[in-house]
Amino acid sequence: MWLKPEEVLLKNALKLWVTEKSNDYFVLQRRRGYGEDSGGLTGLLVGTLDTVLDSTAKVAPFRIIHQTPDSQVYWNIACGASLEEISQHWDWLQQNITRTLSVFDSGEDITSFVQGKIRGLIAEEGTSASDEEDPERFREAVLRFERLFGLPQREKLVTYFSCSYWRGRVPNQGWIYLSTNFLCFYSYMLGNEVKLVYPWDEVSRLERTSSVLLAESIRVCVRGEDHFFSMLLRLQQTYVIMQQLADYAIVRFFDKETFNAEHPLANPLHITQRALEIHARNQSFRAFFRLPQEENLCEVYESFLWVPFCHVNTLGKICVSENYLCFASQDGSQCHLIIPLWELPDHNSRALTVCLRGKRALRFSEVRDFERLASTIRRKCGTAGSPQHFISNPRRLDCMCVFLSEDEEGVMVGQSQAVSTEALMNVFHPHDAENLDPKMLKERMKEQSWQIHFAEYGRGTGMFCTKKTRDLIVRGVPETLRGELWMLFSGAVHDMASHPGYYGRLLEECMGSSSLACDEIERDLHRSLPEHPAFQSDTGISALRRVLTAYAHRNPKIGYCQAMNILTSVLLLYAKEEEAFWLLVAVCERMLPDYFNRRIIGALVDQAVFEELIREHLTQLTEHMTDLSFFSSVSLSWFLTLFISVLPIESAVNVVDCFFYDGIKAILQLGLAVLDYNMDNLLCCHDDAEAVTVLNRFFDSVTNKDSPLPVTVQHASATANDKSIQKVDISNLIKEAYEKYGDIRTEEVEKMRKRNKLYVIQTLEDTTKQNVLRVVAQDVKFSAAQLDELYMLFKRQHFVSCYWSVCSPALQNHDPSLPYLDQYQLDQSQFSSLFNLLQPWTTHTHARSLARSAFRLLDKNGDGLVNFKEFICDILNNRSFTEKLKFLFKLHLQPEVKYSSLSSNHGAVYKSDVFCPSGHAKVDLQEYLKQWQEDLQRREENIKDLPRINQVQFIGLTKTLYGVFHGDEEEESLYRAVARVTSLLLRMEEVGRKLQESNQPDSPVNTPSSPSTLRDGDWSFSFEQILASLLNEPSVVRFFERAIDTDSLIAHARKNQLKDAH
């Protein structure tokens, strides 16, 4: 099996491997203890070491490593379980690679070439893995999975692997099964069975770890408990799939703002390992090249690209999507470019020439599967390979090449005349060509540098992006080019080209509409850069209103969030109105995902990433401040506004330049640079307030000496006239950030984001749980541990219907912005299932009708949903005989019966009005206090207030009692007791009727307890009568006063909850 190349330092390694074959570039080795010397002492010791250290060499005792003569570093590139398997890899290397390596001049080039080939082979194996999979073997695994774990058949097994699960210091060899909604493990050795079933939505940590005992393992944290899985032959593949499934569950259940019905993995019944791989590959492709969400990676080709400015062929990959052809060099940083598909293939052997509007030609050589690529490009371009078809679709060419034409007209075709077609900076601060101010001269020098760059590297969507490009970005983008480059580097140019006229249609649709988002936008309009003249006039305010309103209409799940106004106002300064809209789309939906939602999950995730980077790069600060949560809170505005809210506008735009080129990596680097610059002052701080003051003073001291903005526009800081404070130029600060922390790779940041997202969302969920339990705990008698378990059962019941359904009502109704108590609610079906699992009288034959009555009773507001506070009906478990009987009595009252108070002092029926439901007006404080006082007064309910129960209802009550008593050890005694009580009550009712008839006045006055409202011949009983009669039956009293093992009921419900979902 080919492996992702990993360094192996052999100089200090133990003699654990024996060389079988070798040449100048590769070595085939066998693990000691396998093969010829397996029976010796050395073999026994190595085998024991592999077992103790859980080495993968126990599974794959053969390997191939790559070497170069001038290096002591070796690269592990392949492993095998048998000599035959590893020999096939060895022969392939000899035939296909070894002879080619002699043409390279340096060992680094050789290693780079080998690594690229091996990664290409791994990619090819991945694409054909589903075809090579043994379907019969997988079907057997599915049967084992269903038999072992008892999950519903709708639960889809994605894949499975052999591994070890560590319980303490003892490994349990078994199989890990990864399904759509669950992580499962099963082991059975020497009579010891280990079975684990954990939902992905309960996973809070998922990471690769290594220790002295475990060479390498996967750590899974579920509800605060760590689980370690190791001895996986394909550990990285397993980890990636686990991460994808956990992320899928988290996004689907807790992060609905980014999950919609059009999601490629929306249907949980259609998820496969192949589908996960394709989705992850498409996400990486779109993120790297900043392409629209509709683009999917169709084909990948290995090729050399002739780079004219270096006069060399660069090895890389051609990536083809529906509308773009992209190229990235092997390391990804040397150069990459994006070509909209209107190029014309040439018929050269093994070479492809792509012409961009006739101005420039790009030549790809040594293309693997050349004919297929050429055919694909012709098909997607709608050409047949002849020049006359090159301009067959001029409308498409023009919309894709937004910035190739320098004399672009100022009017946007097809849009309303009300839309601004000029950047606000051009309107309020037009460029003066005759201005000889030193700052303007410096600005012209920057413009000239970019013009030279365009001439050499290209301009627009076909421009080569190289290290030189980044250097120019760090120095600062000229004012006249800022909007164009923001559009290009953010990928917004592709979004706008793919949706011509979309912005105008949005404005027409939302014209005159009114919503909560519109009200919030109006409130914040005049708070957006109020010092700038553009936003002191109706021109800027109107443009800002239109862009924010259009985006709220486009994405109602996000709508409008604070900080969007600040960012958009800066975008409007340098970009046209429609361009500013697409820049906002790129930021909110692609570059800063989950930032602008109700819980700002994305910002919290990046704060966690920032903390990790502080621990890694600023160890001195970490040692001084063990709790880094302060930096998370103070940096929130940095991330949400890209430093615009803390830096002067003339400096902040330089930060935005870097952000659009490098993404969140640029913001993280700058944050580290800010803390590093203020390290000495921060180490002297005694509390958070002092640290905040230090950072605020620093931001006030940041200037941009090259900014051509008028003084009236530039931010006047409080320290402007304080000569004792040293000024810091933003360009120097950004340059320092790139020099010190430029080695932070975007790929590593994305990995850290994924790893921390699970933890952040589960932390938010834990906060929700703690708030709910704090409200509920004062009204019930369950222990804290029992309440915690009951809440998790309730929450899982909420999600059970979501596991296997695309359009589950529970999933659609879940809204994290609701009050804590109402975030998770159960409908009648969900409630009935859980109620029957937790009720102490499991043999009750009328369980369904009892559950329906309980739901009707607890759903006091009649919305068809019950929250956790309403659900916790602990009277069945911990209350007195009277309270339990009162609850059963209420269950049999007709739903239309109204009486003064139906709330018992168990607190489950009484619903708090502390929180105001979403979409309703806020409760008046005095009115709320009045309601709260009334609720407290009726907490102690008088049994005399209960209405009488009629004949039909009483018969239902007796049937319920018979069902409850069924199977009890005193069953016969209890049955006779109920019969005696029924007979006694009937005799009492007859006597009462005769006395009433003999003493009835001429004009009777009906009372709530009077049976005169009943039909002739009917009879009814009060709760007091039933209670008094049953108190005379010791067996009944003993039954209801008997202690109930709540922990056993919870364990039973936890074990059978998923089985009940069949």
487-514 per-position pLDDT tens digit: 999 999 999 988 999 999 999 998 877 8
Condensed to tens digits (0 to 9), the pLDDT of residues 599-618 reads 889 999 999 999 999 999 99
Q: Any residues with CB less than 8 A from the CB of 72 and at least 6 apart, and which? A: 9, 10, 11
CB 627 within 8 A of CB 614: no
What is the pLDDT at residue 366?
63
Instruction: Tell me the average pLDDT across 901-929.
Output: 38
Phi, psi for residue 181 in degrees, rounded to 5: -115, -5
Q: How far apart are CA 466 and CA 107, in angstroms?
A: 24
Angle at which helices 971-998 and 951-965 cross, to 10°? 160
Higher pLDDT, 893 or 564: 564
Q: How far apart are CA 34 and CA 32, in angstroms?
A: 6
Angle at which helices 235-254 and 746-777 cross, to 10°? 50
What is the pLDDT at residue 639?
92
Sign of the dihedral through C-alpha 433, 436, 437, 440: positive
Q: Any residues with CB less than 8 A from the CB of 359 and at least 6 apart, and which? A: 404
Q: How far apart are CA 494 and CA 290, in angstroms?
A: 8
Of 258-272, 637-651, 946-960, which range is least confident? 258-272
68 — pLDDT class (breaks 50, 70, 90): confident
Q: How far apart are CA 466 and CA 454, in angstroms?
A: 12
What is the pLDDT at residue 900?
39
Element (H, E) at 4: strand 2-9
Amino acid at residue number 66 = H
Which of 26-35, 429-438, 458-467 is the most confident on average? Answer: 458-467
Percent of the chain with pLDDT over 70: 76
Condensed to tens digits (0 to 9), the pLDDT of residues 353-365 reads 666 654 566 666 6
Q: How far apart are CA 765 and CA 791, in angstroms?
A: 12
- Sequence-ordered strand ranges (E) for 32-71: 62-66
Sign of the dihedral through C-alpha 592, 593, 596, 599: negative
940: Cα separation from own chain's centroid: 46
DSSP labels, 701-737: HEE-TT--S-TTTS---TTTT-TTSPPEEHHHHHHHH
Condensed to tens digits (0 to 9), the pLDDT of residues 993-1026 reads 777 777 665 544 444 444 444 444 567 888 888 8
Percent of the chain with pLDDT over 90: 26
CB 599 within 8 A of CB 657: no
Q: Is 340 helix (H, G, I), strand (E, B) or coil?
A: strand
Instruction: Tell me the average pLDDT across 881-885.
Output: 85
What is the pLDDT at residue 109?
80
Higher pLDDT, 439 or 668: 668
Listed residue (47, 76, 42) closest to 59, CA to CA: 47
Identify any residues that bridge with 712 across adjacent strands, giving them in sequence order.
Answer: none
Amino acid at residue number 1025 = Q
Q: Is 914 helix (H, G, I), strand (E, B) or coil?
A: coil
Residue 326: pLDDT over 50: yes
Listed residue (825, 680, 670, 806) closest to 742, CA to CA: 670
Place of tokens 């106004």: 565
What is the pLDDT at residue 842?
57
What is the pLDDT at residue 917?
33
Listed residue (494, 136, 98, 124) closest to 317, CA to CA: 124
928 — pLDDT class (breaks 50, 70, 90): very low
CB 616 within 8 A of CB 670: no
Higher pLDDT, 430 or 315: 315
Amino acid at residue number 589 = E
Cα-trace Rg, the chain: 36
Higher pLDDT, 13 or 395: 13
CB 31 within 8 A of CB 57: yes
Sign of the dihedral through C-alpha 535, 539, 545, 550: negative
Of 115-124, 339-348, 663-672, which range is least confident? 339-348
What is the pLDDT at residue 171?
79
Condensed to tens digits (0 to 9), the pLDDT of residues 354-398 reads 666 545 666 666 666 666 777 777 676 654 333 333 333 333 333
240: Cα separation from own chain's centroid: 15
Q: How far apart are CA 1005 and CA 252, in angstroms?
A: 61
Condensed to tens digits (0 to 9), the pLDDT of residues 32-63 reads 776 655 555 555 565 555 544 444 555 578 88
CB 391 within 8 A of CB 503: no
Amino acid at residue number 84 = E
Instruction: Tell me the average pLDDT across 86-91.
Output: 90
Residue 219: pLDDT over 50: yes
Residue 919: half-sphere exposure toward Cβ, Cα within 13 Å: 1
CB 349 within 8 A of CB 309: no
What's the whole-number average pLDDT of the chain? Answer: 79
Residue 79: pLDDT over 60: yes
